[in-house]
Amino acid sequence: MIPNSTRFLSDLHELRQFGAAGVGKGVVRPAYSAADIAARAWLAGKFEEAGLPPHYDPMGSLFGLADGPSILLGSHSDTQPEGGWLDGALGVIAALEVARAAKEAGGPAVSVVSFQDEEGRFGVTTGSAVWSGSLSLEDADKLTDRDGATLAEARAAMPTASAFVDPSRFTGFIEMHIEQGPWLDEAGEAVGVVTDIVGIRDMRITFEGEQNHAGTTPMHLRRDAFQALGAFNAAINERFRNVVTPQTVWTIGHVKLHPDAHSIVPGSATFSMQWRDRDSTRLARMEEVIREAATQVAREQGVRVSFGQMLGLEPVQMDAKLRGVLEESAEQSAARSWRKMPSGALHDATNVSRHMPVAMLFVPSINGISHAFEEDTSEADLITGLEVLAGAVAQLG
């Protein structure tokens, strides 16, 4: 089959218009936002044109379904609060183009998906987590975003069906995505075939101290929630040294103080704690360090600590057969310009692996930048990635 790279690039740029940030190719299209819902309506039309009847599942994940058994391709079309134009959108449009090319070539049968809330406005890869059964719809509905909105309220704003698509109709899942890291770009390579996806843990932690006057409360009498956060951050940075590998990462990306005023000793500090690694045992050891450090800091500083619900996904190995066809196809389309590599980023493929064989394909991220307006990939690399994906699917026919 021969994918049409012009049609592929044109659709990719058209999708970028939904939530265009007006800064470079940046996009603001968080899950369930008006821009996200409009983009999915546009995608549903494209699926229809391609002869793939569109189906919104109860979470708002959008499928384009081939008749009978098929390979499932896709990713997600929602973005971070400040995202790039490719991220998950690339995998969705590449899937659409390969499905069209396969139909034109008389097979094999290809279905397409854009999962909802991969970027975790409410949880972690929420749409595929519910579809795969690792999170119940009831529990998902109770999740809240940073502003306190519930997922139940958010999904009520878009078209959804009452029924989930039966995973058994799919023979496997291949997700094409940007690397989101520096390695392919630094090496000048065009393609990465993923060996495994790291596991992730994510929770909110709150320190509650005593809100008081910033001029009249002596330092030795303060129970300052921000100072507790500072001590906690220093403690885990120190203690992780004996636990982590150079590939392990951890991040405090969200902080909310209360009442958040210059002249008031902060009464509470709520923050996000996220950590990732290829080894479940290490993830669990890091959780112990986090809980011990937070509890000790709270005791030493006379504040209370509380831990939110922990969301997480286990590390996952890619399927040997699907990996094999991707490696063969990469060698054909990008000889000596591809590598095998782990994924440091989380992807919907992790959830989907509960029900079928999964594999992933990476293209380079310029300067390793993603989750930012500056995110980009050269057109040549985008097209090479499309060809590798199409070549792999052709071998499955």
Instruction: Tell me the per-residue interface mask from 187 to 216 with its own copies, x by CB under 8 A, - otherwise.
Output: -----------x-x-x--------xxxxxx
Q: How far is the CB of 179 from its own copies (least distance, A)?
A: 7
How far apart, in whole angstroms, are the C-alpha atoms of residue 276 and residue 198?
A: 6
Q: Phi, psi at residue 351, to the nearest 5°?
A: -70, -45
Query: DSSP letter at 309?
Result: P
* CB of 359 closer than 8 Å to CB of 72: no
Position among 11, 97, 141, 224 found at the interface with its own copies (CB under 8 A)? 224
219 binds its own copies (CB under 8 A): yes
As measured in angstroms, the least distance from the Cβ of 366 to its own copies is: 13
Measured between alpha carbons, how far is 161 from 141 in angstroms, rounded to an integer? 15
255 scored as a contact of its own copies (CB under 8 A): yes
Longest distance between any two alpha carbons in the chain, whole Å:
78
Residues in contact with 272: Cβ distance below 8 Å, sequence separation at least 6, in sequence order:
202, 203, 204, 251, 252, 253, 254, 255
Does 253 participate in binding its own copies (rule CB under 8 A)? yes
23 part of the interface to its own copies, by CB under 8 A: no
* Shortest distance, position 162 Cβ to its own copies, whole Å: 31
- If 0-12 CB within 10 Å is exposed, 13-18 middle and 19+ buried, where does residue 242 land? exposed
Phi, psi of 15 (to 5 degrees): -60, -35
Closest CA relative to residue 329, chosen from 203, 234, 191: 191
**Min separation Cβ 148 and its own copies, Å:** 15
Helices (H), 190-319: 225-239, 280-301
Q: Which of 158, 226, 318, 330 binds its own copies (CB under 8 A)?
A: 226
> Which C-beta is closer to its own copies: that of 55 or that of 121?
121
| 177, 347 contact by CB (below 8 A) | yes
Q: How far is the CB of 171 from its own copies (least distance, A)?
A: 28
Nearer to its own copies, 56 or 122 (CB): 122
Q: How many residues bind its own copies (CB under 8 A)?
A: 62
Tell me the window of 65-73, 153-161, 217-225, 331-339 that interacts with its own copies (CB under 8 A).
217-225
Residues in region 116-135 near its own copies by CB under 8 A: 119-120
Site string for its own copies, 268-297 (x = CB under 8 A): ----x-x-x---------------------
**Is 308 a residue that touches its own copies (CB under 8 A)?**
no
Residue closer to its own copies (CB basis): 161 or 234: 234
Q: Within 10 Å of residue 43's Cβ, how many Cβ atoms?
A: 23
- Kindly report the CA angle at 59 between 53 and 60, in degrees rounded to 5? 45
Question: Which residues ranging from 64 to 83 are in contact with its own copies (CB under 8 A)?
Answer: 80-82
d(C-alpha 224, C-alpha 345), whole Å? 34
Options 23, 284, 310, 372; binder of its own copies; rule CB under 8 A: 372
Residue from 5, 195, 233, 337 touching its own copies (CB under 8 A): that is: 233
133 neighbors 35 (Cβ within 8 angstroms): no
Give contact residues for its own copies (rule: CB under 8 A).
80-82, 119-120, 146, 179-182, 198, 200, 202, 211-221, 224, 226-227, 230, 233-234, 237, 246-255, 257, 259-267, 272, 274, 276, 344-346, 368-372
